[in-house]
Amino acid sequence: MGATKRRFGGGRRPLHAGGTAGVEAEARERAEAPGGLKKAIGRNMLLFFVVGDVLGAGIYALVGEVGGRVGGAIWTSFAVALALAFLTAFAYAELVTKYPRAAGAALYVNKAFRMPFLTFLVAFAVMCSGITSAATLSTAFGGDYLKQFLDVPTVMAGLVFIIVVALINFRGISESVKLNIGLTCIELGGLLLITVIAAAAVLNGDGDAGRALDFKEGETVPIAILAGAALAFYALIGFEDSVNVAEETEQPQRDYPRALFGGLLAAGVVYLTVTVLASMAVPTDRLASSTGPLLEVAQVGPLSIDPKVFAAIALFAVANGALINMIMASRLVYGMSREGIVPRFFGGVHKGRQTPLPAIVFTTALCMLLIAIGTLEKLADTTVTLLLCVFILVNVSVLVLRRDPVDHDHFHAPSAIPVIGAVVCATLLTQQPSSSFPLAGGLMALGVVLYFVSRRATGPTDMDTGRLEAVEHPR
């Protein structure tokens, strides 16, 4: 069969609740279209995908670092970071239900601004954010948690770990997301365990409830909270990764907003509970000096446990986050190739597994390089810096694309929210440490080189000729 094309325009009125009329028919039509990714993600799987991507090594590894910036009131920085995540989630909910395709933020920016170079940089920035995050988690995997069992070089452990993640990614999206569900249950169970242990310690008189309201000395409260939020935001990113599996979701217009907001809310409640109780149970300076801060919490009070038990749970959490980030990065490369923005080679799909093998190989190789040259803190800061820049453009794109109606129902965010989201993202970007910018700049410089090499090798793309919005499936 030939290509399936669809021109967007002159469509129905957007819905505030995600749309119902025609959604099932469109889902069936897209599932039957030739050459696309397999439709394997239902509503519940998507919800667990979002929860699993948000819950992860950020909370397991960075609670102490956030405490070092804000003081004992760690929860305040996480609350600000959660509010920012919700603001930007409104933008993504509107755009992904309006354009339910794998390309994500780059597709939205391209449609809004029609600037090929900017589109390429956004795509590359999002891809790099996923890869730097996976490299961060791979480095964390080879660190103190693993050393509870094996004393091996951190870099070597991280490299072996990311290869295993690539093999799972190649196996298939259904298998990957099902594994994500299992790992999400384990890491959620670990955080609930920490909650019980910390609460028992406080009730037993081993903690200090007043620490949850202490702020770092020498800093004004708003500055301290923002400084902590700039790092806490790393623990809440990941919700945007689910955009890049929209093409593999059965009914994205109906299911995506519910899964996105529900997943963020669930993760946020868990995070705030854990951070309040952790700061009460363990002195802030002790949390800040540990590379495995929740291990410190696991060993206090009458319900303390063997640190190896919790270290095992933390390793599963790290593995889950790395897997989801690499799924996102590989699907983004695949989606951009299908749109003609990067070489067509990266749009290849393995015939047997129906997974984007060339994109998986490329993203894994770049992740291995970052593991070899980066540090945990620098990689985490770089991830946040890249995504804040992208989030500013995504929030602006929502407003610009209001003039582009589509032929199906979709979620509609209140107009004030994207404006506030863009301003807050820009404010938080100013709080990023200066050490986060060199690696981010280096990665974007690599992107510039690849952009011009790609243009020279392939000539004009669908994006350059203005046909990007018309291509639904490859020829």
- β-strand partners of 41: 249
- Read off the tokens for 139: 């480095």
Neighbours of 175 (CB within 10 A): 15
Amino acid at 16: H
Over residues 345-361, the pLDDT tens digits come to 777 787 777 778 888 99
Say what the pLDDT of residue 174 is.
65
Say what the pLDDT of residue 120 is.
83
Say what the pLDDT of residue 405 is.
84
d(CA 434, CA 445): 17
- β-strand partners of 471: 5
By C-alpha distance, which of 114, 462, 425, 111 is closest to 240?
425
Over residues 82-102, the pLDDT tens digits come to 998 999 999 998 998 888 765
CATH of 41-466, one of 3.30.2000.10, 3.40.50.2000, 3.40.1260.10, 1.20.1740.10: 1.20.1740.10
Q: With a threshold of 0.85, does the pTM exceed it?
A: no
Say what the pLDDT of residue 462 is.
52
d(CA 50, CA 23): 21
d(CA 461, CA 116): 9
Say what the pLDDT of residue 3 is.
34
Give pLDDT < 70 ranges for the chain: 1-40, 42, 52-53, 56-57, 101-103, 172-177, 180, 241, 244-247, 250, 252, 339-341, 344, 457-475
